[in-house]
Structure 1
Amino acid sequence: MKWRYFRVRSKQILWNEDNRVKLRNFNYLPRWLVIAIDLAIVIFSFFLSFLVVSNLNVSFYDVLTRPQECVFISLVYFASFFIFSTYAGLIRHSTFVDIFKIAISCGASALFLSIISYSYYGIFEKKIFLFPFLLINSVLTFAGMLMLRLTVKSLYSFIMNMGRKRHRVLILGVNDDSIAVGEALSIADHKNFVLVGFVSFNKRYKKLKILGVPIFKFDNLFFGSILPLKVNGLILVGNQLDTSEKNNIVDKALEQNLRIYHAPSITQWENDADVTSNIKEIQIEDLLERHPIKLDDTQINSYLNDKTILVTGGAGSIGSEIVRQVSRYKPKQLLILDQAESPLHTLELELRQQFPEVSYEFILADVRKKNRLEKVFEAYEVSVVFHAAAYKHVPLIERNPTEAIQVNIIGTVTLADLSAQYGIDRFVMVSTDKAVNPTNVMGATKRAAEMYVQALMQERQSNTKFITTRFGNVLGSNGSVIPHFKEQIKNGGPVTVTHENIIRYFMTIPEACQLVLQAGTMGQGGEVFVFDMGKPVKIMDLAKKMIKLSGLIPGEDIEISVIGLRPGEKLYEELLSDQSTTLPTHHEKIMRAKDDTMFLEDVMNLIIEIAAAAEQSDDLGMIGKLKVLVPEFKSENSVYELLDLPSCSDE
């Protein structure tokens, strides 16, 4: 029975169900086995050394017999293995340090044996060991132990990469970061990449090599010169290139059907990840022309540190990032309010792990319910409110306008009134570029919310500073175009674009939230701050580049389908209305838009009428009143276009 168990168990360990050897299960050799093999090498080296020295016409001393010498020498080497921990590292990850340990161990053993031999000679006038024998034995032992490690390392690498598809790549740059990544590639266990060479931007190196591979100059002849090498891709390391240079290289590389990868500076690598996990295909977000944002941490810290902060819509894309960034300023307490249960729970698990020192309160609530919100203001001494709760998807809101009225307008009114009533210091509202000359219900509701907080500030019935921040599309937010395109490409297409000429401004979620925090420090109340969104991006070009970055050809591997503008969608987004004046601020990426404000009573009366129509599910009446409140709201590609006709306006 025992033999049968051993046979079955051995088969489970060594073989897969398809009868292929599972050599990849041998991730490391046990330490006892390493020591046993090293001792076997010592014994083998002893007898080999004996044979070598015997041919030198010398006589061995007769203090010890040959077996006794072998045992004595083996014990000394065995002790040195423990002293210098030659067995401690994983053989497959052996480095120069491990080789150095082996050399020191063998040298120290030979030295100790020599000292014993000469000490014995000093007492009894006889030597135990021949010095040439000890020297040759030490060298052979070192060579044997080194060969063991090199053999295991090479065998492991061969087995792990057997059948693995490997990409032949060039690394851009010849600086320390690029060379460090090249070294990491050369010693990696999982060789997904084969380093073919480096690329210099400034100088031509003729015969010089780094890590045994040549250096190419990036010029007009570059792609022709690397053609014989069958290069599959380029690796960009760190941030040594600005966005325009990076785009130039990527565009040219994509024309040659090369894959583009990005590796962070090696000091930023995740320690528990292998080389392959740190080198990833470059993302479209990395190629959008964005410049780093400089924040005034001192000002931000002064109004967030040791304060109670409320973030509505805190489990959403923007709200959750605001929460993460606020957490770094060590608030007294951070209240995270959202009506979405599962995302709120997921965020709680993340934050309690990442920021265990911050006091959080996760509040499941709806901004439309005044009684629920009032309990929150009563229970906590809120100092700052970041209002990010909103419905934002244009086509969906166009079909369900009542919900947008109740959340985007009534929810904001309720929250703003309570903020003024309880005398909080700052109310920072997150708005959108779609509020400028809106062509859809979503944009119009956000503009109505802006108008209310501006009017409330103008009345100055409290000390609360009401500040509005307005920006465009954010990369990677829920339902945004880039994740949508990625999913379509993953599924084989087609990639759907609403119009060939449609353009959009883009900003990353962290960028947008950083500017929200900064704008919160700058406002004195009533301002609408507009963020520098950089250059607008043509969505058709975005789709084509994303397909190419996936290693596919637009129009051949992945089709691009133009499906027409969606309800309420317009070709060009705006950040400022025609009537606005733009004033600079002390932050280069934040401008101040000065819109005309209405009296609070007039705004409130129209909002009451809009809310009443919403309660009756009277969509046309509700949107009609919304167009009175926001006269620049002209519907496009929508059922509400009829309300813009002169006959309807006269009514």
Structure 2
Amino acid sequence: MSTKSRSLLSIEATAATLEKLINALSNHQKYTILTSVDISLFLASIIAAIGFEYGFDLTPMETLHLGKFAMLAVGIEIGLFWAFGIYRQVLRYLDGGFIITIAKAAILSCLITSIVANLSTSPVIPLSVPVVHGMLTLILTISVRMCVRLTLGRLHEINYPGQKNGGVVIYGAGSAGCILAQALAGQRGNRPIGFVDDSPYLQGRNVQGIRVYSPAELHKLKANIGFEEILLAMPSIEGQRKREILQKLQVLGVPVKTVPSIAEILSGHVSINKVRELDIEDLLGRKAIAARPELLQQDITDRVVLVTGGGGSIGSELCRQIAKQQPKLLIIYELHEFALYQMDMELGENYPHLEKVACLGSVTDAQTLTGVIAKYGVETIYHAAAYKHVPIVEANPVSGIVNNINGTLTAAKCAIACGVHKFVLISTDKAVRPTNIMGATKRVAELVLQGLADLPNHNTCFTMVRFGNVLGRSGSVVPRFREQITSGKSLTLTHADITRYFMTIPEAATLVIQAGAMAKGGEVFLLDMGEPVKIYDLATQMIRLHGMEPHKDIKIEIVGLRPGEKIYEELLIDCDAALPTGHPKIFCAREAKLGWKELSPQLTNLLNAAAQCEVTECVSVLHDLVPEYQPMGQYAKVKYEAVAA
């Protein structure tokens, strides 16, 4: 090994040892060391000031007199440095503001020392002594702190080459922010360098030794010190206010993360200091819709409940929400073994006292489904099993028809045969004036329930809930964008003007349950989902919240609409048909429907065509059943031929 290599290793070992020793010091030990250093500096500066005025050839009387003055001056300065919070500042992250703070303390100590000294001692101390002493104190204390800051930075560079040394800013200096600051205090590279708070009362103060800045100072703070992340520590804030804060933060060009919401903390699954990536529901600023406990419990508590598609995005969340309401028995009915296994394990871990059964099966298998319903005495069914991805169903229309239409028909007939009390269908806004096979099949599924609801001689209440996109659903745009950003890939968008309605998966699940509880039979329920979101704006905001710039760090590519995709979605066929319900955010509509005598033969034709894989006939019958269906691409010609015939 060369001499140069040995020297480098020796330097690195020494640097590692020094940083380890420094990090091992408690805050009390650090305060003690810094106070001792300052006392030495104060004494040195006052001795220099006295020497400048008197020289060093002093009489015993002058020595005693000036010694008393020196002790007085040091005591006043130490008291003022503590009062100004100088010892609570983190040396590694000092900014230009600490110079002003030290200057204020030094000037004030100079004035107080001069006044007190000349009132309590004789002879008079010349003004030049406290003035020179104050100037030297300012120079020495700032110099020492700057040297320490540079040394710590250099040690970090040696020990962690290439690693960023910036800290984090915590937005919110309340109790959540303080807990987070304590948790981060010992983490290298994540130490808080400042709080930001909207409260004028807190701005300019020190909380836990960390300065509180106003939001307007963030740009200056970033320029002077630099920080790597902003952590939003305001779990109780929601809705429009959170959206306003995030819109201001995204222009800083640093990643923004957040502590969990109050609901997440109260659930017991996460702690307040568990920082997570910012979810897009935080950005959308949707106020959570308050659930009515009596509606959540009505069809679930002490009842036997079955969820079809219980391993899917919506079905699994329904299972979680149902488990909270203490059913007599929860049956998870799912075709895919691994999804069923995951849901069964999760419920077992989080709800150990829940009575549950995991059943493998297809909703198109009448024998298996009837057997399960009859065996356990099912009282409520939430039908979430469906193929929902527009391009996939568009490319596989027969499978979509069999699963979404025949599956719903089969499950509904099984419910009637077994005397199930309530049957709730999960529908979609894509069923409104559909332009794709998936939307058309979901509208036919609605027609099936509407037709069966009007039949006599059964006691099953059929209803359906229609809503837009859910955030975080498998295959949805939000997780896809997040994955593309994390991978450094371009964000792919089908159209610059495309918009969608959004809600969270828990919102969707609670809506389904509450709407089902209000059903009398045959209704279509929907949620007041607010304004639709422009997906292009969503993409740019997600990029910025990851600390990057759209079209510079991450590109946005417009790739064109997919087969059957609409630019705008709707929730109602007839916008005047929406009626209020007992819930302020849930509406009810009586959509146009077909009588069962008219519907049944057309369903038979459709399912026979699907069994023969006659795609053209399938599309033609779909259009007959759903006149507002406007197929696009390869199926558009089929529609026009059907109309001409």
Q: 1:211 is matched with which residue?
A: 208
Q: Which residue of 2 aligns with 1:199?
A: 196
Superposition deviation, residue 350 in structure 1? 1.5
Residue aligning to 1:184: 183
2:644 paired residue number: 650
- The answer on 1:370 being equivalent to 2:366 is yes
Tell me what 1:504 maps to.
Answer: 500
User: Which of 519, 535, 553 pairs up with 1:523?
Assistant: 519
**Preserved contact between residue 493 and residue 560 of structure 1 (Cα < 8 Å):** no
Partners in 2 of 1:455 and 1:648 — Cα distance?
Answer: 24
What is the SS of the residue equivalent to 1:278? coil
Partners of 1:594 and 1:389 in 2: CA distance: 24
Give the unaligned 5+ runs of structure 1.
Answer: 1-18, 28-154
Q: Residues 224-257 of structure 1: CA distance to partner in whole angstroms, max 9, x if unpaired?
A: 3653132333221133433333233322322221
- Which residue pairs with 1:315 in the alignment? 311
| Match in the other structure for 2:594 | 598
Task: Report deviation, 1:536.
Answer: 1.2
Task: Name the CA shift for 1:549/1:566 in 2 (closer, same or farther; >3 Å).
Answer: same
Q: Report the 3-state secondary structure (helix = DSSP H, G, I; strand = E; otherwise coil) of the residue aligned with 1:304.
A: coil
CA-CA distance at 1:279 after TM superposition? 2.1
CA contact (8 A) 2:295 2:513 kept: no
Larger displacement relative to structure 2 (416-425 or 194-203) = 194-203
**1:205, distance to aligned residue in structure 2 (A):** 5.6
SS at 1:324 equivalent:
helix
Amino acid at match of 2:512: V
2:171–2:234 contact (8 Å) kept in structure 1: no
Displacement of 1:269 after TM fit? 9.9
Question: What is the CA-CA distance between 1:213 and the residue it aligns to?
Answer: 2.5
1:337 counterpart SS class = strand
Deviates more, 1:279-288 or 1:206-215: 206-215
Aligned residue for 1:4? Answer: none
Q: 1:348 to 1:278 in 2, by over 3 A?
A: same
Report 1:352-363 matches (<5 A): 352-363=348-359
Report the counterpart of residue 489 of structure 1 in structure 2: 485
Equivalent position amino acid for 1:185 in 2: L
Deviation at 1:351, TM superposition (A): 1.4
**Measured at CA, do residues 556 and 463 of structure 1 come closer, stay the same or move farther in structure 2, by a change above 3 Å?**
same
8 Å contact kept, 1:289–1:535: no
8 Å CA contact 1:310–1:335 kept in 2: the answer is: yes
CA distance in 2, matches of 1:265, 1:369: 42
Residues 451, 205 of structure 1: alpha-carbon distance in 2 compared, 3 angstrom cutoff: closer
Match of 2:146? none
User: Does 2:543 match 1:547?
Assistant: yes
Q: Tell whether 2:281 aligns with 1:285.
A: yes
**Per the alignment, do residues 603 and 178 of structure 1 end up closer, same or farther by CA in structure 2, a change over 3 Å counting?**
same
Residues 485-511 of structure 1: per-residue CA shift (max 9 Å, x gap) = 122222221211000000011111111
Per-residue deviation, residues 232-289 of structure 1 (Å, max 9, x unmatched): 33221133433333233322322221221212479949999999x7123322232112
Paired residue secondary structure (1:605)? helix
1:474 is paired with a residue of what secondary structure? strand
Retained in 1: the 8 A contact 2:260–2:270?
A: no
* Partner of residue 612 from structure 2, selected from 598, 616, 619: 616
Residues 468-477 or 279-288, more deviating: 279-288
Corresponding residue for 1:424? 420
1:230 partnered with 2:226: yes
Does the Cα contact within 8 Å between 1:505 and 1:533 map onto a contact in 2? yes
**Counterpart-to-counterpart distance in 2, 1:403 and 1:605:** 20
Report matched runs for 1:125-140 at 5 Å. Answer: none
Aligned to 1:640: 635
SS in 1 for 2:584: coil
- Structure 2 distance, partners of 1:648, 1:270, is 54
In the alignment, which residue of structure 2 is the partner of 1:10?
Answer: none
Structure 1 contact 339–366 (Cα < 8 Å) conserved = yes
Secondary structure in structure 1 of the residue aligned to 2:299: helix
Match of 1:244 in 2: 240
Question: 2:379, 2:385 → 1: CA distance?
Answer: 18
2:328 is matched with which residue? 332
Whether the aligned pair in 2 keeps the contact of 1:496 and 1:561 (CA below 8 Å) is: yes
Deviation, structure 1 residue 418: 1.4
What is the distance in 1 between the residues matched to 2:516 and 2:271?
41
Instruction: Give the letter aligned to residue 595 of structure 1.
Output: E
Post-superposition offset of 1:420: 1.4
> How far has the Cα of 1:438 moved from its partner?
0.6
Residue 526 and residue 580 in structure 1: after superposition, are their counterparts in 2 closer, same or farther (change >3 A)? farther
Q: 1:193 aligns to what SS in structure 2?
A: coil
- Shift of the 595–205 alpha-carbon distance from structure 1 to 2, 3 Å rule, reads closer
- Number of aligned pairs? 497
Q: Does structure 2 conserve the Cα–Cα contact (< 8 Å) formed by 1:168 and 1:231?
A: yes
Q: Which region of structure 1 is more displaced relative to structure 2, 546-555 or 363-372? A: 546-555
Aligned-pair CA distance for 1:413: 0.6
How far apart in 2 are the matches of 1:350 and 1:359?
A: 13
Q: Cα deviation per residue 1:375-425 (whole Å; 9 max; x = unaligned)?
A: 112312110000000000101101111011111101111111111122111
* Matched residue type, 2:634: V
* Aligned AA (1:361): V
Query: Match of 2:578, SS?
Result: strand
The 3-state SS of whatever aligns with 1:516 is helix
For each residue in 1:553-604, what CA deviation from the matched residue of structure 2 results, as whole angstroms up to 9, or x when unmatched?
2212221110000000000010001366000111111111111221111111
TM-score, with length taken from structure 2: 0.72
Secondary structure of the residue aligned to 1:444 is helix
Asked if 1:571 corresponds to 2:567, the answer is yes
**Contact persistence 1:584–1:592 (CA under 8 A):** yes
In structure 2, the partner of 1:170 is 169
Task: Tell me if structure 2 keeps the 8 A contact 1:502–1:572.
Answer: yes
Query: Are the counterparts in 2 of residues 196 and 213 from structure 1 also a CA contact under 8 Å?
Result: yes
In the alignment, is the contact (CA less than 8 A) between 2:313 and 2:473 conserved in 1? yes
Distance (whole Å) between structure 2 residues aligned to residue 565 and residue 271 of structure 1? 42
2:375 aligned residue: 379
Single out whichever of 508-517 and 174-183 deviates more from structure 2. Answer: 174-183
Q: State how far apart, in whole Å, the 1-side matches of 2:425 and 2:553 are.
A: 44
Aligned pair in 2 of structure 1 residues 568, 297: CA closer, same or farther (>3 Å)?
same
Q: Which runs of 5+ in 2 are unaligned?
A: 1-11, 21-151
Residue 624 of structure 2, aligned match among 623, 628, 644: 628
Say which SS state the counterpart of residue 592 (structure 2) adopts: coil
User: Which residue of structure 1 aligns with residue 393 of structure 2?
Assistant: 397
Instruction: State the Cα distance separating 1:210 from its structure 2 match.
Output: 1.8
Check 1:427–1:178 CA distance in 2 against 1; reply closer, same or farther (3 A cut). same
Q: Do the aligned partners of residues 401 and 525 (structure 1) sit closer, same or farther apart at CA in structure 2, a change above 3 Å counting?
A: same
Match of 1:136 in 2: none
> What CA distance in whole angstroms lies between the structure 2 residues aligned with 1:307 and 1:173?
44
Contact 2:619–2:639 (8 Å) recurs in 1: no
Counterpart-to-counterpart distance in 2, 1:389 and 1:291: 28
Structure-1 residue corresponding to 2:128: none
Q: 1:345 to 1:602 in 2, by over 3 A?
A: same
Deviation at 1:429, TM superposition (A): 0.6
Indicate if the aligned counterparts of 2:232 and 2:257 stay in contact, CA closer than 8 A. Answer: yes
Deviating more after overlay: 326-335 vs 248-257: 248-257
1:69-100 deviation digits (Å, cap 9, x = unpaired): xxxxxxxxxxxxxxxxxxxxxxxxxxxxxxxx
Cα offset, 1:309, TM superposition: 0.7
CA distance in 2, matches of 1:580, 1:627: 24
Q: Distance in 1 between matches of 2:451 and 2:592?
A: 10
Q: Which amino acid aligns with 2:170?
A: I
Residues 204 and 216 of structure 1 are in contact (CA less than 8 Å); yes or no, is this contact kept in structure 2? no
Q: Which residue of 2 aligns with 1:150?
A: none
